[in-house]
Amino acid sequence: MGARRTAKLARHVLMDLTPLRRSRDFRALMSGQAVSTLGTQMTAVAVPYQVYQLTHSSLYVGLVSLTQLFPLIAGSLLGGAVVDAADRRRVLLAVESLMAACSAGLAVNADLGASLWPLFVFPAVAAGLSGMDSSARNAMVPNMVGLREVAAANAMFQALFQLGAIVGPASAGLLLAGAGIRFVYWLDVASFGASLLATFLIAPQPPAGLRRAPGLRSIAEGFRFVRGRQAVQGAYLIDLNAMVFGLPRALFPALAATVFGGGATTVGLLYAAPGAGALLGALTTGWVSRIRRQGRAVIIAVVVWGLAITGFGLVSWLPAALALLAIAGWADVISAVFRNTIIQFSVPDALRGRLMGLQMAVVTGGPRLGDLESGAAATAFGAGAAVISGGVACAAGALILARLLPGFRNQRAAVSPVRAAGDVPPAGAPPAGVSAGDVPPADVPPDGVTPGDVPSGVGD
């Protein structure tokens, strides 16, 4: 009896692998992503390392990162429009081929005697393409796994990313010291090859419904959809609030030296602790598919995040500080799982790529704004005060948004985890979190789209 209870508890706590068992396409998507994530994370370490080797300047290292921001945001927004206009599998194949070419360019540059300009150009191009890549993957998931399994699938992606963020940089450090920079880049090219093969095995993934040619009108259509839909607005705004106020990573070097009395090792531990907590959180998400009030779950997670960061700013004992950062990382990954699920459920498939592209723009731009906010606050009031005030603002902002956006606070998953009818909702049922009044009839195109706007042959 004890063993049976233990097995049941494990099923309710440990990550739910049902999407992998049920969907061949999802297995292929995950396997390709697992390999390419490692390669991408290794390259993310190799590029700044090589830049510093060439220039001996931290300013150049920072500029390389900064040049990737605009392409990432632009690529996410435009990429979402492309993803909604064409077969998403074909988009992935094209994008990953181009990203592999960028990594090959870095490898050839290292082989021929490194120049500095490719280290600015190729990572910036790859950053723009990665926004489109992520939009396509996230838009494909609901149709692959079924509505009931989307939260579990998102948790698996979070675990994969967090594992790659830990293993990739560690592997890169060993390989850079041993095999050299060029080997790391060529290994990244090979990882894209494995991902391309896995993507090729996926069935075609055309978006449902009417499609518009990608461009500014298509992007604007996605923004119009967000207007008046509080569940989606809340998912974006609460994440932006948390990253701007509750992500004090820019202060870790100063805190390591002034508060914790350490050096580079302490800095590394501070940066690693949120990732370790996020990985643990992702691996223990067996319960997320049973949560119906997903908006409330996000609010609670962000409040926990803010309180943990506040506590981090108040302590001076390193083990306690690392534990609090790990709790913040755990809350972050729980928030991410539910936020992605809300967005994926709350929009029709024809708009899903654009809304996931907007989500990518928020996710990539928010941390940069957070670095600016924490740096400015630390300059004015000191690093400790900046962390504490940011944590309080993060938690308070979540509660304010919950008050201002009742549609987000009361958002519920439309698919019950105990429904026996399967994954397909009843005919005419709106997506999760969307009231029936928000969903146009099946024969009515999205706002601002007329049948004549949809070019023939797009995405065929």
pLDDT category of residue 415 using cuts at 50, 70 and 90: low
Q: How far is CA 25 from CA 44, 191, 202, 321, 342, in A?
A: 28, 19, 5, 41, 22
Domain termination residue (choose one: 174, 205, 236): 205
Total residue length of the chain: 460
Are 102 and 134 in a shared domain? Answer: yes
Read off the pLDDT of residues 202-258 as tens digits, 9 standing for 90 and up: 888 887 766 666 667 777 777 778 887 888 889 889 988 998 898 887 787 788 888
CATH number for the domain spanning 52: value is 1.20.1250.20
For the chain, what is the total number of helices (H) and then of strands (E)? 18, 0
Read off the pLDDT of residues 111-126 as tens digits, 9 standing for 90 and up: 888 888 999 999 999 9
The alpha carbon dihedral of 166, 169, 172, 174 has a sign of negative
As given in the structure block, the two tokens for residue 454 are: 């949809």
The confidence score (pLDDT) of residue 306 equals 95
Report yes or no on 422 lying in a domain. Answer: no
Residue 453 per-residue DSSP state: G
Does the structure show a pLDDT above 80 at 34? yes
Least confident of 95-99, 115-119, 169-173, 255-259: 169-173
Asked if residues 38 and 46 have their Cβ atoms less than 8 Å apart, the reply is no
Residue position matching structure tokens 């699920």: 341
Q: How far is CA 6 from the centre of its chain?
A: 32
Say what the pTM is. 0.70
Mean pLDDT confidence for 60-74: 78
Q: Is 146 left (phi over 0), alpha (psi -120 to 50) or beta?
A: left
Domain termination residue (choose one: 149, 170, 205): 205
Are 298 and 157 in a shared domain? Answer: no
> Could you tell me what percent of the chain has a pLDDT over 70?
84
Residue 418 per-residue DSSP state: T
Report yes or no on 3 lying in a domain. Answer: no
pLDDT category of residue 448 using cuts at 50, 70 and 90: very low
Are 240 and 386 in a shared domain? Answer: yes
Residue position matching structure tokens 């945001």: 73
Are 288 and 191 in a shared domain? Answer: no
Give how many domains the chain has, as a whole number: 2
Are 395 and 357 in a shared domain? Answer: yes
Rounded CA separation 360/346 (Å): 16
Least confident of 27-41, 59-73, 180-194, 446-460: 446-460
Residue numbers of the domain that contains 327: 227-415
Report yes or no on 443 lying in a domain. Answer: no
Are 152 and 250 in a shared domain? Answer: no
Instruction: Name the residue among 101, 120, 122, 135 with its Cα closest to residue 55.
Output: 120
Rounded CA separation 90/139 (Å): 13
Are 264 and 400 in a shared domain? Answer: yes
Determine whether 403 is exposed, middle or buried from the number of CB atoms within 10 Å of its CB (0-12, 13-18, 19+).
exposed
Report yes or no on 82 lying in a domain. Answer: yes
Residue 291 per-residue DSSP state: -
Cα angle vertex 351, ends 350, 357, to 5°?
Answer: 135
Rounded CA separation 254/372 (Å): 15
The confidence score (pLDDT) of residue 436 equals 36
Residue 436 per-residue DSSP state: G
Rounded CA separation 456/342 (Å): 31
The confidence score (pLDDT) of residue 4 equals 64
Are 266 and 407 in a shared domain? Answer: yes
Does the structure show a pLDDT above 70 at 312? yes
